[in-house]
Structure 1
């Protein structure tokens, strides 16, 4: 991407120098920055870029004049503009504790020898995601425990998690092949909505698991099944070839 830019300050030469130095420090050939465009409806699209080169046209003394013209060359390693993330979540209706407490025995009438309660497996309400982008979009899935079995996917092609997710823990999987399709597992920080010190458990995935995208310009039904009282979160970000 080519970015012509005029940088100026009308508060004096010293202020211009400080302004120019601060701006140049914000550009880095090794670190990415984010270019954001805002559409008339208030929505945004973003593109990650890094500096590859810069030119300036010094036809005058910029310190004395208070302005300079730059020409920046920027590179996007991932060339698509990202729309805003769309997130939806679903929970199992039966919210009883997995490990039975004395209070649970009174509330639900469990026998004395009952140690844990396994909620019935069932299909949660399905949802349809629309991909209005220019290329296929891969969902990011997060499952917060507790669950004893769970699977999720697009249509009838699903990812099958073969292990129990206890309360306070979660798994997360970005199905985009560019991001490695890694199944991360760890404690769930509810306030930050993120995994804490996750570990890679991709090798344990059921080999029948399928990583499926939502085709461009189409709707696709998401489907999932869960045994337990956890929560499933799906996030989709459409990708575009242009900023508008």
Structure 2
């Protein structure tokens, strides 16, 4: 009798240095709310690595001036003027022509002119960045085969952002009234007095982990009598009360300058308004003061030069 023993084939162990490498997860969220995992080959719509543009540095314009008596130029500053984004996107369906047509139309619906979607990336480190994009061109795409018949087509898609920096998750810091502990004096005869957490406000600092400056959106929740918010000497002063339960939102982003109390414009009621940017770095001192027990919140989005 011959005894036959079946065993699994030998598999060589994966070296540790290979285990350490992971890839980028790409997602596209269309203006219609649909989400597409562009890293999932089995999902039917995915990015090809060839020719991928947009993860690197934005387009930079340097401003200089020259002199008739000094060689060279003097540097005055720079601006990120845009960013080219190019995708090679495969759209396929392996069931039937009707399925390919439905998937094709659903994806291209997210790229309507005049509408914006969000390209999100997640790195193996867990870091997440996003870029809001608009459709620009398909390069005058031509079909060399019938895509409905074969259920497969690759497109070269060019997009562009209005804001050229990659956005990290928002940072939110808040300073509210501390727990009220009444101070009644040595004999307990004095009327209740609640010490203010002014020291916390006066020493408020934030860290901007981004690569470039960004802008703060302030939210003041009543009740407050007067409030001052800002960065260094650039202050915004609210000289009027914010009632209990009301919210005053002050956005210092030059693209969206607003001051609204419960949705009503109050910009003209501010005695001072400054919208200086928050520079990148740690421990940036803020200028905060408040009368009343309400809360002050600072929200800002760190901006990154690159998506990796």
TM-score with structure 1 length normalisation? Answer: 0.79
> Within 5 A, what are the aligned runs for 1:1-244?
1-54=85-138, 55-93=140-178, 95=180, 122-125=198-201, 126-180=203-257, 182-186=258-262, 198-207=263-272, 209-217=273-281, 219-244=283-308
* Cα-Cα RMSD: 2.4
- The Cα of 1:109 is off from its aligned counterpart by 8.1
Secondary structure of the equivalent of 1:146? Answer: coil
Q: 1:71-94, CA deviations, whole angstroms, 9 ceiling, x for partnerless residues?
A: 111121111111110101111226
Contact 1:140 1:173 in 2 (8 A): yes
Secondary structure of the equivalent of 1:232? Answer: strand
Distance across 2 between alignment mates of 1:109 and 1:217: 46
Contact 1:118 1:227 in 2 (8 A): no
Distance across 2 between alignment mates of 1:89 and 1:216: 19
Contact 2:178 2:197 in 1 (8 A): no
Aligned residues: 215
Distance across 2 between alignment mates of 1:130 and 1:21: 44
Secondary structure of the equivalent of 2:145? Answer: coil
Contact 2:177 2:196 in 1 (8 A): no
Distance across 1 between alignment mates of 2:111 and 2:128: 22
- The Cα of 1:119 is off from its aligned counterpart by 7.4
Shift of the 141–226 alpha-carbon distance from structure 1 to 2, 3 Å rule, reads same
Larger-Rg structure: 2
Distance across 2 between alignment mates of 1:169 and 1:14: 53
Contact 1:124 1:224 in 2 (8 A): no
TM-score with structure 2 length normalisation? Answer: 0.64
Distance across 2 between alignment mates of 1:120 and 1:133: 33
**Higher RCO by CA contacts (8 Å cutoff, separation 6 or greater):** 1
Distance across 2 between alignment mates of 1:220 and 1:89: 15
Secondary structure of the equivalent of 2:242? Answer: coil
- The Cα of 1:229 is off from its aligned counterpart by 1.3
Shift of the 212–118 alpha-carbon distance from structure 1 to 2, 3 Å rule, reads farther
